[in-house]
A = this chain, B = another copy of it.
């Protein structure tokens, strides 16, 4: 892997650093948004949720900014090989981070409803899933900034744990619903919140793949289905009726 010092054109180094800075800023903001969204969900804090929703525009603005910078760089600097890969990867990473911001926003929107209905236990399991994904997001952003493909591989692998946690959570929530129909509203929104978190895991895996691509010049060979874990069969319904 070449380092920034190998570059001949110094100005281009600065440009690439700027791209990294914007991605670090976007990543940090989205990480904070996601952490706050999960906290607000557990605390059933509608006020905090509203703040998260209104802040999502800053993420979108940063992504547009990033896109513009990258397109300008492509046009003006006509980069080749590794520099081109960095820019294409940054474009895709920016779009993945923006989507993660959308999921944080959606969890916050659901919290507005969850705050109106009685609290239920599985909210804490959803939050644990969230903590796990936030850890992955930190790691993948770090892997990007350090151009560390091995760390990215680790993150990509840990997406499987998320899938397993999500599947068990889905069962738990289904059981709660069947036991008491008054739980249906909260369980439904928690299911979607969990699904949002699981999708965040998918986007983190995509970012990890971009890091691997930009460092090694090719995508990882083994295919990762990007539509989440396999769907849970109708077991619980069959058991109960």
Contacts and interface: CB of A to CB of B under 8 A. Distances in A.
Interface in A187-241: 188-189, 191-192, 195, 219, 223, 225-228, 230-234, 236-238, 240-241
A70 to B, nearest CB: 8
A181 B182 CA distance: 11
Interface residues of A, number: 57
A21 interface: no
A89 B56 CA distance: 23
The residue in A64, A227, A236 that gathers the most chain B C-beta atoms within 10 A of its C-beta is A227
A39 to B, nearest CB: 18
A198 to B, nearest CB: 11
A185 B236 contact: yes
B181 A112 contact: no
A29 interface: no
Given A102-B227, A185-B237, A192-B195, 14 more contacts: A57-B223, A74-B74, A74-B88, A88-B91, A91-B91, A92-B95, A110-B231, A112-B233, A113-B231, A116-B234, A182-B237, A185-B234, A189-B231, A195-B195
